[in-house]
């Protein structure tokens, strides 16, 4: 009998609407064959589709002004996580699943697995958009975080995923190419972005939309850019595969 696994996401604040969770759940259903629970930890379950299990955000002490940032994701390392048990795959909301997810549960069983951060290819630094963990097994991560004031960790680490990578004892990286960056690996780059749509690299399973743009921005062929002088250069075309997988 195949073990039922957990697929977990988090939604808080207003940055991502419920449609991000609904679309993520639909993508998981299309790309994960084994029995699974799809769970969203959230402060607002309005607009979420039936079939999505929801729980309150797990407890964590996060001080303002960081309480709405990614540090909250460390709350998944509580010793108890709602009624979950066993293996869990965490997925950020701003990803697009383009290939099978079952290998993420078969690779290096029992270990904590995460994306090798593309910006630190020669360092032990992960990108926490996609990672797998055993519920309750790494509770020392949250214990370490709570052992010092939040400001201490902000001074020492750039973000929560750097803290996480430095704290997890038995860390493994996903095989190269499973998780790719939309900006780094899919876009053709420079002026070609204006005339050539992004392409999915061979073997990719998850496309990560870190920072800007988000998937819905790309669907609208727009790239939000807060810096005025950069705006004329931030253009792109909508790739057909994005509407197919995320639309």
Percent of the chain with pLDDT over 90: 75
Q: Is the pLDDT of residue 133 over 70?
A: yes
Q: Supply the pLDDT for residue 129.
A: 97
Q: Supply the pLDDT for residue 230.
A: 74
Interval 215-239 mean pLDDT: 82
* Helix residue spans in the chain (DSSP H): 18-31, 103-106, 140-146, 150-156, 160-167, 192-195, 215-219, 240-245
E-strand ranges in the chain read 5-11, 36-42, 53-56, 87-91, 95-97, 112-116, 126-134, 171-173, 179-181, 206-208
| Six-digit token string for 102 | 């079952």
Asked whether residue 137 falls in the same domain as residue 227, the answer is no
- Give the domain-ending residue among 144, 173, 202: 173
Cβ atoms of 55 and 39 within 8 Å: the answer is: yes
Domain range for 32: 5-173
pLDDT tier at 247, thresholds 50, 70, 90? low
Q: Supply the pLDDT for residue 231.
A: 67
Residues 6+ apart with CB under 8 A from 190: none
Residues 6+ apart with CB under 8 A from 147: none
Interval 27-54 mean pLDDT: 96
For the chain, the distance separating the N- and C-terminal CA atoms, rounded to the nearest angstrom, is 34
More confident residue, 205 or 225: 205
Cβ atoms of 35 and 78 within 8 Å: the answer is: no
Q: Report how many domains make up the chain.
A: 2
Asked whether residue 53 falls in the same domain as residue 136, the answer is yes
Asked whether residue 153 falls in the same domain as residue 107, the answer is yes
Asked whether residue 153 falls in the same domain as residue 80, the answer is yes
Asked whether residue 138 falls in the same domain as residue 58, the answer is yes
* Model confidence, pTM: 0.95
Cβ atoms of 197 and 207 within 8 Å: the answer is: no
Collapse the DSSP code of 178 into the 3-class scheme (helix H, G, I; strand E, B; otherwise coil) and give the result: coil
pLDDT tier at 92, thresholds 50, 70, 90? very high
- In the sheet with 179-181, reading across from the earlier edge strand, the strands are 95-97, 206-208, 179-181
Asked whether residue 114 falls in the same domain as residue 48, the answer is yes
Report CA Rg, the chain. Answer: 18
| Six-digit token string for 147 | 């052992």
For residue range 144-181, what is the model confidence (pLDDT) as tens digits?
Answer: 999 999 899 999 998 999 999 999 999 999 999 999 99
Measure the CA–CA gap between 191 and 156, rounded to whole angstroms. Answer: 37
For residue range 180-189, what is the model confidence (pLDDT) as tens digits?
Answer: 999 999 998 8
Q: Supply the pLDDT for residue 165.
A: 96
For residue range 96-119, what is the model confidence (pLDDT) as tens digits?
Answer: 999 999 999 999 999 999 999 998
Cβ atoms of 120 and 104 within 8 Å: the answer is: no
């Amino acid at each position: 009998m195949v073990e039922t696994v957990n697929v977990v996401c988090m939604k808080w604040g207003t940055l991502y609407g419920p449609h991000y969770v609904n679309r993520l759940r639909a993508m998981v259903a299309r790309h994960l064959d084994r029995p699974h629970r799809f769970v969203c930890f959230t402060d607002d379950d309005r607009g979420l589709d039936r079939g999505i299990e929801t729980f309150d955000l797990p407890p964590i002490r996060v001080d303002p002004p960081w309480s709405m940032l990614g540090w909250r994701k460390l709350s998944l390392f509580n010793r108890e996580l709602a009624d979950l048990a066993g293996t869990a795959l965490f997925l950020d909301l701003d990803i697009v699943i383009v290939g099978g997810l079952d290998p993420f549960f078969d690779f290096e069983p029992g270990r904590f697995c995460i994306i090798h951060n593309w910006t630190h290819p020669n360092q032990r630094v992960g990108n926490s958009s996609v990672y797998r963990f055993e519920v309750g097994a790494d509770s020392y991560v949250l214990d370490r975080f709570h052992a010092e004031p939040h400001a201490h960790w902000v001074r020492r680490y750039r973000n929560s995923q750097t803290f996480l990578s430095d704290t997890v004892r038995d860390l493994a990286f996903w095989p190269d190419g499973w998780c790719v960056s939309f900006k780094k690996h899919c876009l053709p780059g420079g002026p070609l972005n204006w005339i050539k749509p992004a392409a999915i690299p061979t073997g990719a399973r998850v496309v990560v939309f870190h920072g800007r743009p988000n998937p819905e921005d790309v669907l609208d062929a727009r790239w939000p850019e807060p810096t005025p002088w950069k705006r004329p250069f931030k253009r792109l075309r909508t790739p057909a595969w994005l509407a197919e997988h995320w639309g």
